[in-house]
Structure 1
Amino acid sequence: MFPLTRLLAVVSVAPLLRLAVARYAVPPGAAARTACGGCGAPIGLGHPGLGPAARCPACATRIGAPPAAVELALLAALVMLLFAGGGLAERAALAWWLGWAVPLGLVDLAVHRLPDRLTWPAALGTWALLGIAALTGAGSGPWLRALVAGVALGAAFAATTLLLGRRGFGLGDAKLALGVGALLGWYGWPVLLAGLVLTFALSAVVSLGLLLARRVSWTSHLPFGPFLIVGTAATLVLAT
Protein backbone atom coordinates (compact mmCIF):
# COMPACT_ATOMS: atom_id res chain seq x y z
CA MET A 1 0.00 0.00 0.00
CA PHE A 2 1.23 3.49 -0.81
CA PRO A 3 1.32 5.98 2.06
CA LEU A 4 -1.75 8.21 1.95
CA THR A 5 0.39 11.35 1.71
CA ARG A 6 2.00 10.13 -1.50
CA LEU A 7 -1.32 9.26 -3.07
CA LEU A 8 -2.65 12.68 -2.12
CA ALA A 9 0.41 14.25 -3.72
CA VAL A 10 -0.35 12.41 -6.97
CA VAL A 11 -3.96 13.61 -6.89
CA SER A 12 -2.95 17.21 -6.20
CA VAL A 13 -0.29 17.37 -8.94
CA ALA A 14 -2.35 15.67 -11.66
CA PRO A 15 -4.48 18.73 -12.65
CA LEU A 16 -1.34 20.86 -13.05
CA LEU A 17 0.23 18.28 -15.35
CA ARG A 18 -3.04 17.88 -17.25
CA LEU A 19 -3.06 21.64 -17.78
CA ALA A 20 0.50 21.45 -19.19
CA VAL A 21 -0.55 18.74 -21.64
CA ALA A 22 -3.67 20.65 -22.65
CA ARG A 23 -1.72 23.86 -23.27
CA TYR A 24 1.21 22.42 -25.20
CA ALA A 25 -0.28 19.49 -27.13
CA VAL A 26 -0.68 21.71 -30.17
CA PRO A 27 0.95 21.52 -33.62
CA PRO A 28 4.50 22.91 -33.95
CA GLY A 29 4.41 26.66 -34.39
CA ALA A 30 0.91 27.04 -32.94
CA ALA A 31 0.25 29.16 -29.86
CA ALA A 32 -0.32 27.38 -26.56
CA ARG A 33 -3.97 26.39 -26.05
CA THR A 34 -5.81 28.60 -23.58
CA ALA A 35 -9.44 27.56 -24.12
CA CYS A 36 -11.59 24.49 -24.73
CA GLY A 37 -11.62 23.64 -28.42
CA GLY A 38 -15.32 22.88 -28.33
CA CYS A 39 -16.97 25.72 -26.43
CA GLY A 40 -14.17 28.22 -25.92
CA ALA A 41 -14.27 28.12 -22.12
CA PRO A 42 -10.93 29.31 -20.67
CA ILE A 43 -8.67 26.47 -19.50
CA GLY A 44 -7.12 26.94 -16.09
CA LEU A 45 -6.49 24.95 -12.94
CA GLY A 46 -10.08 25.47 -11.86
CA HIS A 47 -11.53 24.02 -15.05
CA PRO A 48 -13.43 20.78 -14.25
CA GLY A 49 -12.28 19.26 -17.53
CA LEU A 50 -8.79 18.82 -16.07
CA GLY A 51 -9.96 15.89 -13.95
CA PRO A 52 -9.32 12.20 -14.77
CA ALA A 53 -12.31 12.10 -17.15
CA ALA A 54 -10.55 14.71 -19.33
CA ARG A 55 -13.80 16.03 -20.79
CA CYS A 56 -15.22 19.52 -20.77
CA PRO A 57 -18.46 19.33 -18.75
CA ALA A 58 -20.11 21.89 -21.00
CA CYS A 59 -19.48 20.32 -24.43
CA ALA A 60 -17.84 16.92 -23.72
CA THR A 61 -14.77 17.82 -25.79
CA ARG A 62 -11.62 16.02 -24.65
CA ILE A 63 -9.16 18.39 -22.98
CA GLY A 64 -5.51 17.40 -23.14
CA ALA A 65 -4.36 13.88 -22.30
CA PRO A 66 -6.61 10.79 -22.61
CA PRO A 67 -8.74 9.91 -19.56
CA ALA A 68 -6.67 8.79 -16.54
CA ALA A 69 -3.42 8.87 -18.56
CA VAL A 70 -1.76 11.48 -16.35
CA GLU A 71 -2.87 9.78 -13.15
CA LEU A 72 -1.57 6.37 -14.27
CA ALA A 73 1.73 7.90 -15.38
CA LEU A 74 2.11 9.62 -12.02
CA LEU A 75 1.45 6.36 -10.18
CA ALA A 76 4.13 4.69 -12.31
CA ALA A 77 6.52 7.53 -11.43
CA LEU A 78 5.72 7.06 -7.75
CA VAL A 79 6.48 3.34 -7.97
CA MET A 80 9.76 4.18 -9.65
CA LEU A 81 10.71 6.59 -6.87
CA LEU A 82 10.03 3.87 -4.31
CA PHE A 83 12.38 1.41 -6.00
CA ALA A 84 15.10 3.71 -7.38
CA GLY A 85 18.33 4.00 -5.41
CA GLY A 86 20.20 7.09 -4.25
CA GLY A 87 19.95 9.49 -1.36
CA LEU A 88 17.36 12.15 -0.66
CA ALA A 89 18.87 14.73 -3.00
CA GLU A 90 19.22 12.23 -5.86
CA ARG A 91 15.59 11.19 -5.38
CA ALA A 92 14.55 14.85 -5.38
CA ALA A 93 16.32 15.33 -8.72
CA LEU A 94 14.59 12.25 -10.11
CA ALA A 95 11.20 13.36 -8.79
CA TRP A 96 11.67 16.78 -10.38
CA TRP A 97 12.59 15.25 -13.74
CA LEU A 98 9.67 12.79 -13.62
CA GLY A 99 7.25 15.62 -12.88
CA TRP A 100 8.19 17.24 -16.19
CA ALA A 101 8.67 13.95 -18.06
CA VAL A 102 5.02 12.93 -17.62
CA PRO A 103 3.54 15.85 -19.62
CA LEU A 104 6.48 15.78 -22.04
CA GLY A 105 5.83 12.16 -22.95
CA LEU A 106 2.10 12.71 -23.39
CA VAL A 107 2.59 15.84 -25.50
CA ASP A 108 5.12 14.05 -27.71
CA LEU A 109 2.73 11.13 -28.20
CA ALA A 110 -0.06 13.51 -29.17
CA VAL A 111 1.66 15.97 -31.50
CA HIS A 112 5.30 14.84 -31.93
CA ARG A 113 6.87 17.80 -30.18
CA LEU A 114 8.71 18.49 -26.93
CA PRO A 115 8.13 22.16 -26.03
CA ASP A 116 10.93 24.29 -24.62
CA ARG A 117 8.76 25.41 -21.71
CA LEU A 118 8.85 21.84 -20.41
CA THR A 119 12.25 20.55 -21.52
CA TRP A 120 14.39 23.40 -20.19
CA PRO A 121 12.98 23.43 -16.63
CA ALA A 122 13.30 19.63 -16.54
CA ALA A 123 16.99 19.76 -17.44
CA LEU A 124 18.03 22.82 -15.44
CA GLY A 125 16.20 21.73 -12.29
CA THR A 126 17.74 18.26 -12.51
CA TRP A 127 21.22 19.72 -12.82
CA ALA A 128 20.61 22.05 -9.87
CA LEU A 129 19.28 19.31 -7.59
CA LEU A 130 22.13 16.99 -8.51
CA GLY A 131 24.42 19.89 -7.64
CA ILE A 132 22.84 19.97 -4.17
CA ALA A 133 23.45 16.22 -3.92
CA ALA A 134 27.10 16.86 -4.74
CA LEU A 135 27.40 19.58 -2.10
CA THR A 136 25.73 17.48 0.59
CA GLY A 137 27.93 14.44 0.33
CA ALA A 138 28.45 12.94 -3.11
CA GLY A 139 31.25 15.31 -4.07
CA SER A 140 31.93 17.15 -7.31
CA GLY A 141 32.95 14.08 -9.36
CA PRO A 142 29.47 12.65 -10.03
CA TRP A 143 28.03 16.10 -10.73
CA LEU A 144 30.72 16.99 -13.24
CA ARG A 145 30.23 13.64 -14.93
CA ALA A 146 26.47 14.22 -15.00
CA LEU A 147 26.97 17.67 -16.52
CA VAL A 148 29.32 16.35 -19.22
CA ALA A 149 27.01 13.40 -19.95
CA GLY A 150 23.97 15.65 -20.30
CA VAL A 151 25.68 18.14 -22.60
CA ALA A 152 27.31 15.38 -24.67
CA LEU A 153 24.07 13.45 -25.12
CA GLY A 154 22.12 16.60 -25.99
CA ALA A 155 24.79 17.65 -28.49
CA ALA A 156 24.83 14.19 -30.08
CA PHE A 157 21.06 14.25 -30.58
CA ALA A 158 21.18 17.79 -31.94
CA ALA A 159 23.93 16.81 -34.37
CA THR A 160 21.66 14.20 -35.97
CA THR A 161 19.10 16.94 -36.57
CA LEU A 162 21.65 19.14 -38.29
CA LEU A 163 23.10 16.29 -40.35
CA LEU A 164 20.01 14.22 -41.18
CA GLY A 165 17.13 16.67 -40.93
CA ARG A 166 13.78 14.94 -40.33
CA ARG A 167 15.47 11.53 -40.35
CA GLY A 168 17.43 12.49 -37.23
CA PHE A 169 16.26 13.27 -33.72
CA GLY A 170 14.38 16.50 -33.13
CA LEU A 171 15.83 19.41 -31.18
CA GLY A 172 13.19 18.70 -28.55
CA ASP A 173 14.71 15.24 -28.10
CA ALA A 174 18.12 16.89 -27.73
CA LYS A 175 16.83 19.17 -24.96
CA LEU A 176 15.13 16.26 -23.20
CA ALA A 177 18.47 14.41 -23.42
CA LEU A 178 20.15 17.12 -21.32
CA GLY A 179 18.32 15.90 -18.22
CA VAL A 180 18.40 12.25 -19.23
CA GLY A 181 22.16 12.30 -19.68
CA ALA A 182 22.64 14.01 -16.32
CA LEU A 183 20.50 11.49 -14.41
CA LEU A 184 22.14 8.47 -16.00
CA GLY A 185 25.63 9.96 -16.03
CA TRP A 186 25.43 10.70 -12.30
CA TYR A 187 25.63 6.96 -11.66
CA GLY A 188 28.47 6.34 -14.13
CA TRP A 189 29.20 5.90 -17.81
CA PRO A 190 28.09 2.22 -17.85
CA VAL A 191 24.65 3.27 -16.57
CA LEU A 192 24.42 5.91 -19.30
CA LEU A 193 25.33 3.34 -21.93
CA ALA A 194 22.83 0.83 -20.50
CA GLY A 195 20.10 3.45 -20.59
CA LEU A 196 20.73 4.25 -24.23
CA VAL A 197 20.83 0.57 -25.21
CA LEU A 198 17.54 -0.08 -23.39
CA THR A 199 15.92 3.00 -24.96
CA PHE A 200 16.86 2.05 -28.50
CA ALA A 201 15.87 -1.57 -27.87
CA LEU A 202 12.42 -0.47 -26.68
CA SER A 203 12.06 1.78 -29.71
CA ALA A 204 13.05 -1.02 -32.08
CA VAL A 205 10.72 -3.61 -30.50
CA VAL A 206 7.70 -1.30 -30.45
CA SER A 207 8.36 -0.06 -33.98
CA LEU A 208 8.65 -3.61 -35.29
CA GLY A 209 5.45 -4.63 -33.48
CA LEU A 210 3.51 -1.71 -34.94
CA LEU A 211 4.94 -2.44 -38.37
CA LEU A 212 3.92 -6.11 -38.21
CA ALA A 213 0.46 -5.08 -36.99
CA ARG A 214 0.28 -2.65 -39.94
CA ARG A 215 -0.33 0.27 -37.63
CA VAL A 216 2.58 2.17 -39.17
CA SER A 217 4.54 2.06 -42.43
CA TRP A 218 8.28 2.00 -43.11
CA THR A 219 8.17 5.77 -43.64
CA SER A 220 6.32 6.56 -40.38
CA HIS A 221 8.12 8.68 -37.80
CA LEU A 222 7.40 7.66 -34.21
CA PRO A 223 7.99 10.12 -31.35
CA PHE A 224 11.22 9.22 -29.57
CA GLY A 225 10.63 11.16 -26.34
CA PRO A 226 8.42 8.51 -24.67
CA PHE A 227 11.01 5.80 -25.38
CA LEU A 228 13.76 7.98 -23.92
CA ILE A 229 11.69 8.64 -20.81
CA VAL A 230 10.68 5.01 -20.23
CA GLY A 231 14.18 3.72 -21.00
CA THR A 232 15.74 6.16 -18.54
CA ALA A 233 13.24 5.36 -15.81
CA ALA A 234 13.66 1.60 -16.22
CA THR A 235 17.45 1.89 -16.21
CA LEU A 236 17.49 3.93 -13.02
CA VAL A 237 15.30 1.35 -11.28
CA LEU A 238 17.36 -1.62 -12.49
CA ALA A 239 20.85 -0.16 -12.13
CA THR A 240 20.70 1.95 -8.95
Structure 2
Amino acid sequence: MSLTEHLPAPAGPARTGHGRLPRLLAAATVAPLIRWIVAADSVPGGTQRRTACDECGTSIGLAGPLRALSPLARCGTCRHRIGAPPATVELALLVSVGVLVVAARPVSETVAFAWWALCVLPLFFVDLAVHRLPDRLTYPAAFGTWGLLGLAALLGGTETAGGGTAWLRSLLAGLAVAFVFAASTVLLGRRGFGLGDAKLALSSAAVLGWFGWELVFFGLMVSFVAAALTSVALLLAGRVRWSGHLPFGPFLILGSLVTLALA
Protein backbone atom coordinates (compact mmCIF):
# COMPACT_ATOMS: atom_id res chain seq x y z
CA MET A 1 0.00 0.00 0.00
CA SER A 2 1.28 3.47 -0.84
CA LEU A 3 2.25 5.63 2.10
CA THR A 4 -0.24 8.27 0.98
CA GLU A 5 -3.01 5.98 -0.28
CA HIS A 6 -5.12 6.66 2.78
CA LEU A 7 -5.14 10.41 2.14
CA PRO A 8 -8.07 12.19 0.49
CA ALA A 9 -7.29 13.82 -2.84
CA PRO A 10 -6.81 17.61 -2.60
CA ALA A 11 -9.55 19.76 -3.97
CA GLY A 12 -9.33 20.63 -7.63
CA PRO A 13 -8.47 24.33 -7.25
CA ALA A 14 -5.52 23.48 -5.03
CA ARG A 15 -3.82 21.79 -7.99
CA THR A 16 -4.25 24.61 -10.46
CA GLY A 17 -1.16 26.47 -9.32
CA HIS A 18 -3.03 29.74 -8.63
CA GLY A 19 -1.21 31.89 -6.12
CA ARG A 20 2.31 30.68 -6.93
CA LEU A 21 3.51 34.19 -7.80
CA PRO A 22 2.43 35.64 -4.41
CA ARG A 23 4.21 32.75 -2.68
CA LEU A 24 7.41 33.46 -4.61
CA LEU A 25 7.17 37.17 -3.82
CA ALA A 26 6.60 36.39 -0.14
CA ALA A 27 9.68 34.13 -0.17
CA ALA A 28 11.78 36.94 -1.67
CA THR A 29 10.50 39.30 1.01
CA VAL A 30 11.37 37.09 4.00
CA ALA A 31 14.80 36.04 2.68
CA PRO A 32 16.62 39.04 4.25
CA LEU A 33 14.88 38.35 7.58
CA ILE A 34 16.00 34.72 7.53
CA ARG A 35 19.54 35.78 6.62
CA TRP A 36 19.58 38.18 9.57
CA ILE A 37 18.36 35.47 11.98
CA VAL A 38 20.97 33.01 10.69
CA ALA A 39 23.78 35.55 11.05
CA ALA A 40 22.63 36.60 14.52
CA ASP A 41 22.22 33.08 15.93
CA SER A 42 25.22 31.35 14.32
CA VAL A 43 27.27 31.81 17.48
CA PRO A 44 28.41 29.35 20.17
CA GLY A 45 25.94 28.57 22.93
CA GLY A 46 26.00 30.92 25.90
CA THR A 47 27.18 33.91 23.88
CA GLN A 48 25.24 36.97 22.79
CA ARG A 49 23.66 37.12 19.37
CA ARG A 50 25.79 38.61 16.61
CA THR A 51 24.81 42.18 15.81
CA ALA A 52 27.73 43.33 13.68
CA CYS A 53 30.37 42.09 11.24
CA ASP A 54 33.10 40.15 13.05
CA GLU A 55 35.80 41.89 10.99
CA CYS A 56 34.87 45.58 10.92
CA GLY A 57 31.95 45.97 13.33
CA THR A 58 29.47 47.21 10.74
CA SER A 59 25.86 46.52 11.79
CA ILE A 60 24.26 43.52 10.12
CA GLY A 61 20.71 44.38 11.13
CA LEU A 62 18.10 46.18 9.08
CA ALA A 63 19.76 49.47 10.07
CA GLY A 64 23.04 48.47 8.43
CA PRO A 65 24.04 48.07 4.76
CA LEU A 66 21.55 45.76 3.03
CA ARG A 67 24.36 43.99 1.17
CA ALA A 68 24.86 41.76 4.24
CA LEU A 69 21.26 40.56 4.01
CA SER A 70 21.27 40.11 0.24
CA PRO A 71 22.06 36.88 -1.67
CA LEU A 72 25.68 38.14 -1.84
CA ALA A 73 25.99 37.61 1.94
CA ARG A 74 28.86 40.08 2.27
CA CYS A 75 29.49 42.91 4.70
CA GLY A 76 28.69 46.23 3.05
CA THR A 77 31.96 47.72 4.34
CA CYS A 78 34.72 45.09 4.33
CA ARG A 79 33.10 42.44 2.10
CA HIS A 80 33.59 39.76 4.80
CA ARG A 81 31.08 36.92 4.44
CA ILE A 82 28.07 37.22 6.73
CA GLY A 83 25.93 34.26 7.82
CA ALA A 84 24.82 31.56 5.38
CA PRO A 85 26.74 31.07 2.10
CA PRO A 86 25.67 33.22 -0.86
CA ALA A 87 22.30 32.37 -2.46
CA THR A 88 21.72 29.31 -0.24
CA VAL A 89 18.93 30.86 1.84
CA GLU A 90 17.15 32.03 -1.29
CA LEU A 91 17.49 28.58 -2.85
CA ALA A 92 16.15 26.92 0.30
CA LEU A 93 13.16 29.27 0.27
CA LEU A 94 12.41 28.43 -3.36
CA VAL A 95 12.57 24.73 -2.54
CA SER A 96 10.19 25.25 0.39
CA VAL A 97 7.74 27.15 -1.79
CA GLY A 98 7.97 24.34 -4.33
CA VAL A 99 7.19 21.78 -1.63
CA LEU A 100 4.10 23.74 -0.57
CA VAL A 101 2.95 23.99 -4.20
CA VAL A 102 3.50 20.28 -4.84
CA ALA A 103 1.78 19.32 -1.59
CA ALA A 104 -1.30 21.23 -2.82
CA ARG A 105 -3.05 21.30 0.55
CA PRO A 106 -5.96 23.56 1.58
CA VAL A 107 -5.06 27.14 2.49
CA SER A 108 -5.42 26.61 6.26
CA GLU A 109 -2.99 23.70 6.19
CA THR A 110 -0.58 25.51 3.86
CA VAL A 111 -0.39 28.41 6.31
CA ALA A 112 0.59 26.01 9.09
CA PHE A 113 3.23 24.31 6.96
CA ALA A 114 4.57 27.68 5.78
CA TRP A 115 4.95 28.82 9.40
CA TRP A 116 6.87 25.65 10.19
CA ALA A 117 9.13 26.12 7.15
CA LEU A 118 9.89 29.76 8.03
CA CYS A 119 10.90 28.73 11.55
CA VAL A 120 13.04 25.73 10.63
CA LEU A 121 14.92 27.18 7.64
CA PRO A 122 17.06 29.42 9.90
CA LEU A 123 17.59 26.40 12.17
CA PHE A 124 18.88 24.44 9.17
CA PHE A 125 21.71 26.91 8.57
CA VAL A 126 22.44 27.66 12.23
CA ASP A 127 22.79 23.96 13.07
CA LEU A 128 25.12 23.45 10.11
CA ALA A 129 27.27 26.39 11.20
CA VAL A 130 27.54 25.97 14.98
CA HIS A 131 25.74 22.69 15.84
CA ARG A 132 22.98 24.27 17.91
CA LEU A 133 19.23 24.77 17.62
CA PRO A 134 18.18 27.92 19.55
CA ASP A 135 15.05 27.74 21.70
CA ARG A 136 13.91 31.10 20.28
CA LEU A 137 13.19 29.25 17.03
CA THR A 138 12.34 25.68 18.04
CA TYR A 139 9.59 26.65 20.49
CA PRO A 140 7.77 29.08 18.15
CA ALA A 141 8.00 26.42 15.45
CA ALA A 142 6.33 23.87 17.74
CA PHE A 143 3.61 25.98 19.32
CA GLY A 144 2.85 27.90 16.14
CA THR A 145 2.56 24.72 14.08
CA TRP A 146 0.35 23.03 16.66
CA GLY A 147 -1.90 26.06 16.92
CA LEU A 148 -2.24 26.61 13.17
CA LEU A 149 -2.91 22.93 12.50
CA GLY A 150 -5.55 23.04 15.22
CA LEU A 151 -7.15 25.98 13.42
CA ALA A 152 -6.94 24.03 10.15
CA ALA A 153 -8.76 21.13 11.80
CA LEU A 154 -11.52 23.46 12.99
CA LEU A 155 -11.89 25.15 9.61
CA GLY A 156 -11.60 22.06 7.45
CA GLY A 157 -13.34 19.45 9.58
CA THR A 158 -12.95 15.95 8.19
CA GLU A 159 -12.09 17.22 4.69
CA THR A 160 -8.51 18.12 5.58
CA ALA A 161 -6.69 15.03 6.79
CA GLY A 162 -8.98 13.71 9.47
CA GLY A 163 -10.03 16.94 11.18
CA GLY A 164 -9.59 16.86 14.94
CA THR A 165 -8.22 13.32 14.75
CA ALA A 166 -5.42 14.53 12.49
CA TRP A 167 -4.56 17.34 14.91
CA LEU A 168 -4.42 14.98 17.89
CA ARG A 169 -2.25 12.56 15.93
CA SER A 170 -0.01 15.46 14.91
CA LEU A 171 0.40 16.54 18.53
CA LEU A 172 1.13 13.00 19.71
CA ALA A 173 3.64 12.43 16.91
CA GLY A 174 5.61 15.53 17.86
CA LEU A 175 5.62 14.64 21.54
CA ALA A 176 6.48 10.97 20.92
CA VAL A 177 9.46 11.62 18.63
CA ALA A 178 10.71 14.41 20.88
CA PHE A 179 10.53 12.07 23.88
CA VAL A 180 12.56 9.39 22.07
CA PHE A 181 15.19 11.93 21.05
CA ALA A 182 15.39 13.40 24.55
CA ALA A 183 15.65 9.92 26.09
CA SER A 184 18.60 9.14 23.82
CA THR A 185 20.30 12.30 25.08
CA VAL A 186 19.89 11.19 28.69
CA LEU A 187 20.94 7.59 28.06
CA LEU A 188 23.69 8.02 25.45
CA GLY A 189 25.03 11.53 25.98
CA ARG A 190 26.88 12.86 22.92
CA ARG A 191 26.23 9.60 21.08
CA GLY A 192 22.50 10.29 21.19
CA PHE A 193 20.42 13.12 19.81
CA GLY A 194 20.74 16.57 21.31
CA LEU A 195 17.96 18.28 23.24
CA GLY A 196 17.78 20.77 20.39
CA ASP A 197 16.92 17.91 18.03
CA ALA A 198 14.16 16.84 20.41
CA LYS A 199 12.70 20.36 20.42
CA LEU A 200 12.90 20.51 16.62
CA ALA A 201 11.05 17.18 16.44
CA LEU A 202 8.11 18.73 18.28
CA SER A 203 7.18 20.60 15.11
CA SER A 204 8.76 18.48 12.36
CA ALA A 205 7.14 15.23 13.48
CA ALA A 206 3.87 17.11 14.06
CA VAL A 207 3.81 18.19 10.40
CA LEU A 208 4.21 14.58 9.30
CA GLY A 209 1.79 13.28 11.92
CA TRP A 210 -0.95 15.38 10.34
CA PHE A 211 -0.97 12.90 7.44
CA GLY A 212 -0.58 9.68 9.41
CA TRP A 213 1.86 7.59 11.42
CA GLU A 214 3.17 5.97 8.23
CA LEU A 215 4.54 9.31 7.06
CA VAL A 216 6.10 10.00 10.46
CA PHE A 217 8.13 6.79 10.15
CA PHE A 218 8.86 7.45 6.48
CA GLY A 219 10.11 10.98 7.20
CA LEU A 220 12.37 9.73 9.99
CA MET A 221 13.70 6.99 7.71
CA VAL A 222 14.55 9.55 5.03
CA SER A 223 16.32 11.67 7.65
CA PHE A 224 18.35 8.75 9.02
CA VAL A 225 19.33 7.48 5.57
CA ALA A 226 20.38 10.95 4.42
CA ALA A 227 22.45 11.43 7.58
CA ALA A 228 24.09 8.01 7.21
CA LEU A 229 24.98 8.53 3.54
CA THR A 230 26.39 11.98 4.27
CA SER A 231 28.46 10.63 7.15
CA VAL A 232 29.93 7.88 4.97
CA ALA A 233 30.72 10.35 2.20
CA LEU A 234 32.45 12.75 4.62
CA LEU A 235 34.42 9.88 6.19
CA LEU A 236 35.62 8.66 2.81
CA ALA A 237 36.59 12.19 1.85
CA GLY A 238 38.50 12.64 5.10
CA ARG A 239 36.38 15.61 6.14
CA VAL A 240 35.33 14.07 9.48
CA ARG A 241 36.58 11.40 11.86
CA TRP A 242 34.74 8.52 13.50
CA SER A 243 34.70 10.56 16.71
CA GLY A 244 33.20 13.56 14.92
CA HIS A 245 29.65 14.81 15.42
CA LEU A 246 27.29 15.52 12.55
CA PRO A 247 24.29 17.78 13.32
CA PHE A 248 21.03 15.93 12.79
CA GLY A 249 18.72 18.94 12.64
CA PRO A 250 19.29 19.68 8.92
CA PHE A 251 18.54 16.05 8.02
CA LEU A 252 15.35 16.04 10.08
CA ILE A 253 14.21 19.18 8.27
CA LEU A 254 15.19 17.72 4.90
CA GLY A 255 13.37 14.44 5.58
CA SER A 256 10.25 16.34 6.67
CA LEU A 257 10.26 18.50 3.53
CA VAL A 258 10.68 15.47 1.25
CA THR A 259 7.83 13.67 2.99
CA LEU A 260 5.59 16.75 2.93
CA ALA A 261 6.11 17.01 -0.83
CA LEU A 262 5.11 13.36 -1.26
CA ALA A 263 2.06 13.82 0.96
Same fold judged by TM-score > 0.5? yes
| Count of aligned pairs between the two proteins | 239
Q: Structure 1 runs of 4+ off > 3 angstroms?
A: 1-4
For residues 72-111 of structure 1, the aligned pairs below 5 Å read 72-111=91-130
For residues 119-130 of structure 1, the aligned pairs below 5 Å read 119-130=138-149
The CA distance in 1 between the partners of 2:165 and 2:21, in whole Å, is: 37
The CA distance in 2 between the partners of 1:219 and 1:102, in whole Å, is: 27
The CA distance in 2 between the partners of 1:31 and 1:52, in whole Å, is: 25
For residues 16-55 of structure 1, the aligned pairs below 5 Å read 16-47=33-64, 48=66, 49-55=68-74
Identity of aligned residues (%): 57
The CA distance in 2 between the partners of 1:85 and 1:218, in whole Å, is: 42
Letter matched to residue 45 of structure 1: L
Give 1:93 deviation, angstroms: 1.0
Letter matched to residue 86 of structure 1: R
Letter matched to residue 179 of structure 2: A
**Compared CA separation, residues 87 and 6, structure 1 to 2 (3 A):** closer
Partner of 2:29: 12
Tell me if the contact between 2:51 and 2:60 (Cα under 8 Å) persists in the aligned partners.
yes
Give 1:90 deviation, angstroms: 1.4
Partner of 2:11: none
Cα deviation code 1:98-157 (max 9, x no counterpart): 111111000000000000011111111100110011111242111111111111111111
Partner of 1:226: 250
Give 1:85 deviation, angstroms: 4.1
Give me the TM-score of the superposition, normalised by structure 2.
0.87
Cα deviation code 1:145-190 (max 9, x no counterpart): 1111111111111111111111111111000000011111111111
The CA distance in 2 between the partners of 1:153 and 1:17, in whole Å, is: 26
Partner SS for 1:177 = helix
Partner of 1:170: 194
Partner of 1:115: 134
CA RMSD of aligned residues (A): 1.4
Letter matched to residue 131 of structure 1: G
Partner of 2:209: 185
The CA distance in 2 between the partners of 1:60 and 1:120, in whole Å, is: 34
Mean alpha-carbon deviation: is it higher for 224-233 or for 205-214? 205-214
Q: Which runs of 5+ in 1 are unaligned?
A: none
**Compared CA separation, residues 85 and 193, structure 1 to 2 (3 A):** farther
For residues 128-147 of structure 1, the aligned pairs below 5 Å read 128-136=147-155, 137-138=157-158, 139-147=163-171
The CA distance in 1 between the partners of 2:104 and 2:255, in whole Å, is: 16
Tell me if the contact between 2:73 and 2:84 (Cα under 8 Å) persists in the aligned partners.
yes
The CA distance in 1 between the partners of 2:24 and 2:255, in whole Å, is: 24
Tell me if the contact between 2:60 and 2:75 (Cα under 8 Å) persists in the aligned partners.
no
Partner of 1:153: 177
The CA distance in 2 between the partners of 1:141 and 1:226, in whole Å, is: 29
Give me the TM-score of the superposition, normalised by structure 1.
0.96
1:61 aligns with 2:80: yes
